[in-house]
Amino acid sequence: MSPKHEHLKKKIREIKNYPTAGISFKDITPLLEDKQSFREAVEGIANFFKEKQVDKIVGIESRGFLFASSVAYLLNTGVVMVRKKDKLPSQKILREHSLEYGNGSLEMHTDSVVPGEKIVVIDDVLATGGTAEAAIKLTEQLGGQIVGTGFLIELPLGGREKLKQYSIYSLIQY
């Protein structure tokens, strides 16, 4: 976590009972809409990984794409999309996972990662860790080496424990 970015919480709107009862959704659209806050968030994540030798950034659908592509641009790496089931057009692999409010499935093209490539997985939120773990397992299945994970927000819902074997960077923690 980076205490110097805690002020970005003011740009994150909380919506109670969304998408289901009992969930307190962190809406990042105000942060994305503010050019200074968005730049600070992207640069903050990218700066953490700039000293690591990264070949590609894996971004998780859908808000994770915004940060992954921006970080990949700053780090001069490729970007890989991990998408929900049946959204990718070419040959792919599938991984099912649990969410804090249900279940999901993620897919990755089989030619997106070359064995031995150094990969950072990025998403907007780390909650239970199920989605990030699924993206990591897809990457590892193709031979990618995870050098870290990056998140705009980290919620205290067990994700850090689930991913404890990986380097985890979160810009903001709740």
The answer on pLDDT for 101 being more than 90 is no
The answer on pLDDT for 94 being more than 70 is yes
For the chain, give the percent of residues with pLDDT over 90. 89
Cα 109 versus chain centre, distance? 17
At 34 the pLDDT is: 98
Q: Rounded to whole angstroms, how far apart are CA atoms 99 and 65?
A: 18
Strands 56-60 and 118-126: parallel
At 15 the pLDDT is: 97
Cβ pair 120, 149 in contact under 8 A:
yes
Indicate which residues carry an active-site annotation. Answer: 63, 100
Residue range 21-43: average pLDDT?
A: 96
Residue range 25-49: average pLDDT?
A: 98
Q: Catalogue all structural domains in the chain, each as residue range(s) with its CATH number.
A: 3-173 (3.40.50.2020)
At 104 the pLDDT is: 87
